[in-house]
Copies of this chain bind each other. A is one copy, B any other.
């Protein structure tokens, strides 16, 4: 994804980050830098850099004379893409997937509404292309090809919204969509109704109809919520 082996401290993080986010060390656990360095067979400098990164993610707090203490889950920087990836890779996956899907359901409709106002002609064309790609791969178990276009579609919408906070959620949405295709439901072809909705969103954005784009996107995200059995009776 990002960069596999970007230095020794990176490889330490690849092990330590998932371990912490998976809850292997309960909140308040104390780690010693020296012991960790020995355990990973790296120098203290390297281990210190790794700890600094974990600290910047608010996963741990380092205090003199005490050690490196694991912070409670509620203090983590849960929007850090790295943290999201670690959690999606671990036992927390289902819970994380639900949280992110709810987040999507709040963001994407608003983003689509803004995209209808701000999208450039190029972005409109790209959007239409993505929607057509989805249609073309919606039958015959072409799940991977469908996924590529689905991800691209939502990424364009978020970018075209013109809001940098929305735009940066493109990677998160990509992870959620990929996760759904690879590990959850979706054994057969995607819901035809969802495909149609994507085409209609592209239309609405092209026509500058923000209200319609928002409403249609809300229907898409409601579908995503229902797939995960997140709904109020």
- Nearest Cβ in chain B — how far from A218, in angstroms? 10
Of B53, B74, B77, B167, which contacts A74 at CB under 8 A? B167
Is A103 part of the contact surface with B, judged by Cβ < 8 Å? yes
Of B80, B99, B167, B232, which contacts A164 at CB under 8 A? B99
Of B56, B73, B107, B163, which contacts A82 at CB under 8 A? B56
- A167: chain B residues at CB < 8 Å are 74
CB-based contact B106/A110 at 8 Å = yes
Of B73, B74, B81, B110, which contacts A105 at CB under 8 A? B110
Of B53, B77, B107, which contacts A53 at CB under 8 A? B53
- Nearest Cβ in chain B — how far from A81, in angstroms? 7
CB-based contact A165/B79 at 8 Å = yes
Q: How far is the CA of A109 from the CA of B45 in the complex (A)?
A: 46
CB-based contact A103/B57 at 8 Å = no
CB-based contact B52/A9 at 8 Å = yes
Which of the listed residues A102, A107, A111, A166 has the most CB atoms from chain B within 10 Å of its own CB? A102
Which chain B residue lies CB-closest to A7? B62
- Nearest Cβ in chain B — how far from A126, in angstroms? 16
- A73: chain B residues at CB < 8 Å are 164
- A53: chain B residues at CB < 8 Å are 52-53, 55-56
CB-based contact B100/A165 at 8 Å = yes
- A81: chain B residues at CB < 8 Å are 77
Which chain B residue lies CB-closest to A63? B6
Which chain B residue lies CB-closest to A105? B110
- Nearest Cβ in chain B — how far from A91, in angstroms? 15
**13 A/B residue pairs, CB under 8 Å, sorted by A:** A48-B49, A52-B52, A53-B53, A53-B55, A74-B164, A74-B168, A99-B163, A102-B110, A102-B163, A103-B166, A106-B109, A106-B111, A210-B232
Q: Which 6 A-B pairs have the closest CB atoms?
A: A79-B79, A106-B110, A53-B56, A49-B52, A103-B165, A99-B165
